[in-house]
Amino acid sequence: MYFIVLLTAIQQHMKIGVPKEIKNNENRVGMTPAGVYELIKNNHTVYVQKNAGLGSGFFDEDYKEVGATILDTIGEVYASAEMIVKVKEPIAVEYDFIKPHHVVFTYFHFASSEPLTKAMLKSKAVCIAYETVEDEDGSLPLLTPMSEVAGRMAIQQGAKYLEKPIKGRGVLLGGVPGVPPGRVLVLGAGTVGIQAAKMAAGLGAHVTIMDINMKQLRYVNDVMPNHVVTEFSSEFNIRKRIKDHDLIVGGVLLKGAKAPNLITRDMLKEMRPGTVIVDVAVDQGGCVETTKPTTHEDPTYIIDDVVHYCVANMPGAVPYTSTLALTNVTLPYVLRLANQGWEVACAKDQSLRKGINIANGKIIYEEIAEAFNWSVDAM
């Protein structure tokens, strides 16, 4: 007990690295100049890779002005830093940069990638995932802003891909006087689902939102306009609704685990040609059986005349909004980790402790092992 009190009394000096995101069309950045300013003020050193913030509208000069050191290469950033603050999970070319002394704080979504999980176990680094940091009420504060962006974007993108030149049904979601509006089916009444329903309703579409959580459905029923209809989610009800809905949004998340398959391959044949599926849950494996991750450069593919939009980093397309929304919520945790060191910070903060997915070559967050049918004890 005294040991922890003593540790907390000592202000840590930490070297923090902010690399440029290298995933396809990922323009967000792990920290804004405002966040870097706070870290420098707390006596930390921050290394930012050259042009890391450019895609989000932040220039190297902005970072230099607040005291950051600009480094040319991603390798230099990893080599200089003790803690890495990113947006997306490291990709294969980054694996070898990650060493046992690193704390990596980013979105990992381990349950959807076995190679990533194995690489991070091998690195023996401490991997703290934004998406599993959990408040006492069960909410996910670091996932919420990106879910809000992705939920709203799902309708924006879905409306576009319903257009005929892109092989959609040729439906205008809002309709016009004398013509009924398009029909949107939203699977999941969490953050993604509610934001998608809000946007679709705003366009004037008819919206059906499904969930197995009656408490959430009551909430949606209370706050949404009358043309947003709630329905209990079951395979029977989903099969019934997909036949006459134009746009289907998959927004189901199981914390840290793989998303459930709510729409199976055989169901596609029951949909009308040109129906559009936007699977926001693609990061966690997707809630449609035929989902496979796509990129902003090549966002869609067609199976059984159904257009699938399954971009794994949707908020990356609106990086200015996304970076600000994300760093608003991550900065307090970054400061805690930097000021106290990860062990003390996680010991004192239960929410942050739930973010530890992998540490020192061991899986800490059990749902990851379950996703691959591994035994945690065998790790």
Span 94-108, pLDDT tens digits: 999 999 999 999 999
Q: How many domains does the chain have?
A: 2
Region 174-187: mean pLDDT is 97
Rounded average pLDDT over 184-199? 97
Is residue 247 assigned to a domain? Answer: yes
C-alpha 281/C-alpha 147 separation (Å) is 10
State the chain's mean pLDDT as an integer.
Answer: 93
Shared-domain flag, residues 287 and 237: yes
Interior/surface letters 124-135, b for 16+ CB within 10 angstroms, e for the rest:
bbbbbbbbbbbe
- Pairing mode, if any, of strands 356-359 and 362-363? antiparallel
| Same domain, residue pair 18 and 49 | yes
> Do 24 and 50 share a domain, yes or no?
yes
Confidence of residue 345 (pLDDT cuts 50, 70, 90): very high
Residues 68 and 107 grouped into a single domain? yes
Is 378 inside a domain boundary? no
- Give the residue numbers annotated as catalytic, written as ranges: 109, 283
Supply the pLDDT for residue 289.
96
Q: Are residues 211 and 330 in the same domain?
A: no
9 and 89 fall within a common domain: yes
- What is the band of 9 on the pLDDT scale with cuts at 50, 70, 90? very low
pLDDT per residue as tens digits for the range 220-272: 999 999 999 999 999 999 999 999 999 999 999 887 678 889 999 999 999 99
Task: Look at residue 150 in the predicted model and tell me its pLDDT.
Answer: 97
pLDDT of residue 209 exceeding 70: yes
Residue 326's CATH number:
3.40.50.720
Parent domain of 214: 144-312
Share of the chain above pLDDT 70, in %: 96
Are both 176 and 45 inside the same structural domain? no
Same domain, 160 and 86: no
The answer to whether residues 353 and 268 belong to one domain is no
Using the 3D structure, point to which of 312, 337, 363 is the last residue of a domain: 312
Average pLDDT estimate for 355-379: 86
Q: DSSP strand E in 291-369: where?
A: 300-303, 306-309, 356-359, 362-363
